[in-house]
Structure 1
Amino acid sequence: MEKEKIQNKELTEFPIWGQEHIESGALAQMRTAINLPIAVAGALMPDAHQGYGLPIGGVLATAANTIIPFAVGVDIACRMCLSIYDLPAEAVDTEKDKLKRILVNNTYFGMGCTTKSYFDSSLFDKKTWNETKVIRSLKDKAYAQLGTSGTGNHFVEWGELTIAEGALEEIPAGRYLALLSHSGSRGFGGSVADHYSKLAMSKTKLPGDAKHLAWLSLDEEEGQEYWIAMNLAGEYASANHYEIHNKIARDLGVKPIAMIENHHNFAWKEQLADRTEVMVHRKGATPAGEGVLGIIPGSMSTPGFLVRGKGNAESINSASHGAGRLMSRRAAFKTLDRKVIAENLAEKRITLMGSDVDEAPMVYKDIHAVMAAQDDLVEILARFEPRIVRMANPKEKPED
């Protein structure tokens, strides 16, 4: 394909939530994205920070027949999942040893980690696993990693969930034991992203600052292949969480009274307020259409929130996917004091298994400021306080 040029048009404005919390690099990346020939609309969430191509926290609507692999992200369909138990929140203290043991016995972290037993592997009966050469080549890897979690900011944790009066019809207000997990489509999604990102950049050649925003056309075979693989990665990411949560519930001997989940790092075929058909890329952004439930975590020692979307058209029905990083991993290792981190965790009564300085609470923005900056995007229904946190071994290379 001929080398594409960024349209020579005046800088298109895009709405920004919490601009005071967003670094200049993320703003520059969003400006580049919004000026793509295929761009229709965009928005930047308050947790935004610089990434590859589209910033993390960036939302980009493009022409309906186009999709940008790097605007979806490397960890396709990275996902949150929350299980709520009809057990008192105090169990994180009274049953701490038991809950720690359950996490150790039922969670697996690491880039190459696998499991040997499954709660439900029926996803692999789908014919989609045979639809393309790329998917077929990755099926065995995906099967071996079903029910595992990644490195970096991925976690499985017990915590205390406080539900507001009248927030959820099926669950009374109160304080409950809850399990929260964050992970994605593992090596399967990463390999799909790598293959099709390179393919897109070979087909749609863009200037240096925009090269990672290369797109594929859904009118062509490669675009259709990526679309099929991306959606399968979404189903796989969900199945991963269900494996983790179901195994833990079985070990606990109690079924949850509710499970709530949502993707980020994904692309959806949607309509804008004016009914324009578009492809909405949410890279590190939570779907927040009217009435849609989602989970926005903080850090290992700060709260996360169960939210309901308000359907704000200006944000393209989106909200933040977390607090967002305040400093790079390299900066964290250079500047943070392990003693200060340990004191912070002790003060918040956090039991931590795994992780390292680069995931310390101080590397993240103030989740309360981030939530305040998007109160027109989501309604807070419940507050989750982490208490027993499991993450990857400190020696593991971060993959988020």
Structure 2
Amino acid sequence: MNQYSTHDTSGAQLKLWDSAGPFETGAMQQLRNVASLPFVFRHVAGMPDVHWGKGATVGSVIATKAAIVPAAVGVDIGCGMMAVRTSLTADQLPDSLSAIRAEIERAVPKGMESSQTANHVKGGWAITPNSVGRAWNDRFEARWRAILARHPKVDGKTSDQLGSMGGGNHFIEVCLDEEDRLWVMLHSGSRGTGNRIGTYFIDAAKEAIAKERLDFHLADKDLAFLSEGSQLFDDYIEAMHFAQDYAVANRELMMGRVLEALRKHLPAFKTDKQAINCHHNYATRERHFGEQVWVTRKGAVSARAGELGIIPGSMGTGSFIVEGLGNEQSFCSCSHGAGRVMSRGEAKRRITLEQHAEAMKGIEARVDEGVLDESPAAYKDIGAVMDAQQDLVVIRHRLRQIINIKG
């Protein structure tokens, strides 16, 4: 059964998986703007967590031919999720989880904090751990130097942020599934490196488009694109792939350090051999409807048949491990989370500290004004979001967090 609707009075080619009535007006206009681009392939897919974003809608899947929109990929290139199941169960946990939370916070830099005693400085490493240094030297340094040789303006903090979490909606969680098995789950991306790459090439695309005579109207300047075959396009793809690979390694290094932190406080345990590590802000070359296209997922997860993915709710409402059903109408994609119903500013104005504390009962987490913009009430109902994509994924595990760490 198809859950999506194709109705749109503007005539734009949209297929929408709507969880709770029409999407917000601003997000719908962005979807129409993107669908109007002449190089968009077939249609734009809107996931049930759609909300307004910069240029392109968060929760959209955009297939294109011979062009790519850097702002649709965004500035948190390669942002995504990682989850690992352990052999531990709930009855092996201590009554208080505060010491475990503190140990994890010491193990992984987060946000833009500075803590010299924990070897963290401005969201990165004061002294780079050996494992991080090896990963950088073996996998990234030569590639980074090649990018800087052509685009030196993207230089900045890079190796010293590898293995760190970031702020905002990024997090580390310890969770239990329906069988009370313990999981570790985290959310992070390419940190400042991806931000600089994204920002630089968004601006470069705008400058390039300003010099061209387009035979169509660009509805939003943030939809400036790069044409395949140009040197700038090739350079962007190289830098974007670098950031996406950096993000994967970033999550792997974070996960290793979190598991080490757990081993200091919990009985000996094993982990599943195969972890789930998936992007939800990225672009890649794929085959759909018989043709090779670029697929940009801005706040969406690949959900090919049999592929495992992660859909988080909020810091107080749990998450889902899902298996893709390979629905071509969504370009084999699903939502990347619950999606916001309040902007960060609105959430801080409307949600009280008392309401946040009530929503976080039973979870070892921050309960202060600094995280009100991430409180569960700022997000859509994750149950409704999951119900709206039953033709995209099947739920394999429901996770409920017992420890939450925000940047």
Interval of TM-score (by shorter of Structure 1 and Structure 2): 0.7 to 0.9
Counterpart of 1:72, as a letter, is V
Which residue number in structure 2 is paired with residue 45 of structure 1?
Answer: 47
| TM-score relative to the length of structure 1 | 0.87
Change (3 A) 1:243 1:363: same
Unaligned runs of 5+ in 1: 1-9, 163-173, 393-400
**Contact 1:286/1:294 (8 A) holds in 2:** yes
Identify if the C-alpha distance between structure 1 residues 366 and 139 changes in structure 2 by more than 3 Å, giving closer, same or farther.
same
- Which of 369, 392, 398 aligns to 1:383? It is 398
Q: Which runs of 5+ in 2 are unaligned?
A: 1-9, 113-121, 264-268
Alignment partner for residue 185 of structure 2, among 146, 165, 180? Answer: 180
CA distance 1:139–1:330, shift in 2 (3 Å): closer
Structure 1 counterpart of 2:195: 190
Q: Name the structure 1 match of 2:160.
A: 144
Q: Tell me the residue number matched to 2:61.
A: 59
Is the contact between residue 72 and residue 298 of structure 2 (CA under 8 Å) also seen in structure 1?
yes
1:14 maps to what in 2?
Answer: 14
SS at match of 1:350: coil
- Residues 233 and 211 of structure 1: CA distance in aligned 2, closer, same or farther (over 3 Å): same
Task: Find runs of 4+ consecutive structure 1 residues off by over 3 angstroms.
Answer: 90-95, 134-140, 205-209
- The structure 2 residue matched to 1:200, chosen from 205, 216, 237, is 205
Q: Cα 1:187–1:255, aligned 2, differ >3 Å: closer, same or farther?
A: farther
Instruction: State the 1:271 CA deviation.
Output: 1.4
Who is 2:84 aligned against? 83
- Report the equivalent of 1:398: none
| Structure 1 position 124, deviation (Å) | 3.2
Describe the superposition over 1:4-46 as per-residue Cα deviations: whole angstroms up to 9, x where unpaired: xxxxxx7332110016162121111011101101111310000
In the alignment, which residue of structure 2 is the partner of 1:3? Answer: none
Whether the 8 Å contact between 2:60 and 2:299 is mirrored in structure 1 is: yes
CA RMSD of aligned residues (A): 1.9
What per-residue deviation string (whole Å, max 9, x for no partner) do you get for residues 333-389 of structure 1?
22112111111212xx11113751111100000000000000100010001111111
Counterpart residue number, 1:356 = 371
Bigger mean CA deviation after superposition, 193-202 or 258-267: 258-267
Cα 1:199–1:135 change in 2 (3 A) is: closer
Report the identity percentage.
36
State whether residues 110 and 167 of structure 2, in contact with CA within 8 Å, keep that contact through their aligned partners in structure 1.
Answer: yes
Q: Paired residue for 1:397? A: none
**Cα pair distance change 1:143/1:255, threshold 3 Å:** farther
Q: Which secondary structure does the structure 2 equivalent of 1:108 belong to?
A: coil
Structure 1 residue 391, shift from structure 2 partner: 0.8
Q: Within 2, Cα distance between the matches of 1:359 and 1:281?
A: 26
Residue of structure 2 equivalent to 1:235: 245
Taking structure 2 as the reference length, the TM-score comes to 0.86
Could you tell me whether the CA contact under 8 Å between 2:111 and 2:168 is conserved in 1? Answer: no
- Between the aligned partners of 1:388 and 1:329, the Cα distance in structure 2 is 22
Deviations 1:167-203 (A, max 9, x none): xxxxxxx321111111110000000001000001111
- How far apart in 2 are the matches of 1:377 and 1:73? 24
SS in 1 for 2:314: coil
| Secondary structure of residue in 2 paired with 1:77 | coil
> 1:261 aligns to what SS in structure 2?
strand
Q: 1:47 is paired with a residue of what secondary structure?
A: strand
Counterpart in the other structure of 1:7: none
**Cα distance change on mapping 1:352 and 1:124 into 2, 3 Å:** same
- For residue 123 of structure 2, the aligned residue among 113, 125, 140 is 113
Q: Which amino acid aligns with 2:203?
A: K
Is 1:263 the counterpart of 2:290? The answer is no
